[in-house]
């Protein structure tokens, strides 16, 4: 199940005083299972998002994108209209950040996701970290232009691979969009365990739109970064991976 490349690509953090600043990330299930079409529930919203600072995920049967912050978990189904997720809502995949102390940065206007990734990596470097050696939790609040969000239709068994599901994704484009994007800057590793790079889900300030964020350019935005260690929990095998 597990590619040892992940273990080689990341460094286990030894306990030290700086650790007190660190939060913790738990990812449930690995990306390969999602790619192969395992959309059955592995964990509930109540279980996954207990004490969450923020998090992202996908609903059982791919019935919407999950985005969580400020003590609320939202589900954005294929119509693009967010609803508050039920505590018993099942999730085949979730990544949740808990605890930690964030670093705040203002983001220059006109910063796209590539620029945001560069900024995050600079903040990590200034903190003595490298983006391939940890998972950073990310929150961006503000006003954006050229925002492209997506959700996808609920699936019925037998489930198709995620790439085929995403061939039928529904996109929502906004010239101007105000809201919050949360997620993670994962290591740049194609290990089938984590989704590499920057991965954000959004929720509009007016709560009328949201979803997985394909694109966005900052107008006025504030970035918060948490430097976190991470656990990857695979309920089907009962295995834990540290990173």
Residues that bind Zn ion in the complex, under the rule CB under 5 A: 212
Q: Which residues of 156-188 are buried (b: 16+ CB within 10 A; e: fewer)?
A: eeebbebeebeeebeebebeebbbbbbbbbbbe
CB of 65 to Zn ion, least distance (A): 6
Query: With respect to Zn ion, which residue has the nearer C-beta, 139 or 212?
Result: 212
CB of 111 to Zn ion, least distance (A): 20
CB of 53 to Zn ion, least distance (A): 18
With 0-12 / 13-18 / 19 or more C-beta atoms within 10 angstroms meaning exposed / middle / buried, residue 230 is buried
Closest C-alpha among 201, 195, 196 to residue 183? 201
CB of 153 to Zn ion, least distance (A): 15
- d(CA 5, CA 192) in angstroms, rounded, equals 10
Query: With respect to Zn ion, which residue has the nearer C-beta, 123 or 198?
Result: 198
3-state secondary structure of 62: helix
Query: With respect to Zn ion, which residue has the nearer C-beta, 131 or 212?
Result: 212
- d(CA 224, CA 235) in angstroms, rounded, equals 30
Nearest to Zn ion by Cβ — which residue? 212
- d(CA 40, CA 1) in angstroms, rounded, equals 18
CB of 213 to Zn ion, least distance (A): 8
Read off the tokens for 151.
Answer: 């959700």
Query: With respect to Zn ion, which residue has the nearer C-beta, 24 or 212?
Result: 212
Query: With respect to Zn ion, which residue has the nearer C-beta, 185 or 212?
Result: 212
């Amino acid at each position: 199940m597990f590619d040892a490349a992940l273990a080689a690509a990341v460094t286990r953090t030894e306990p030290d005083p700086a650790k007190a600043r660190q939060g913790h990330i738990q990812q449930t299930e690995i990306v390969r299972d999602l790619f192969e079409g395992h959309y059955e529930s592995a964990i509930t919203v109540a279980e996954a998002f207990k004490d969450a600072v923020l998090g992202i995920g996908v609903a059982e049967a791919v019935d919407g994108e999950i985005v969580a912050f400020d003590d609320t978990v939202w589900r954005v189904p294929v119509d693009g209209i967010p609803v508050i997720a039920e505590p018993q809502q099942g999730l085949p995949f979730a990544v949740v950040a808990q605890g930690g102390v964030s670093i705040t940065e203002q983001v220059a206007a006109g910063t796209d996701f590539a620029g945001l990734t560069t900024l995050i990596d600079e903040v990590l470097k200034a903190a003595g970290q490298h983006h391939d050696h940890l998972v950073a939790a990310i929150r961006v609040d503000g006003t954006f232009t050229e925002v492209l969000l997506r959700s996808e239709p609920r699936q019925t068994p037998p489930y198709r691979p995620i790439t085929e599901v995403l061939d039928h994704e529904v996109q929502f484009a906004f010239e101007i969009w105000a809201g919050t994007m949360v997620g993670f800057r994962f290591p740049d590793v194609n290990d089938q365990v984590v989704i590499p790079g920057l991965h954000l889900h959004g929720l509009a300030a007016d709560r009328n739109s949201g979803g997985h964020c394909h694109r966005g350019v900052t107008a006025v935005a504030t970035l918060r970064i948490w430097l976190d260690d991470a656990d990857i929990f695979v309920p089907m095998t009962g295995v834990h991976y540290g990173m």
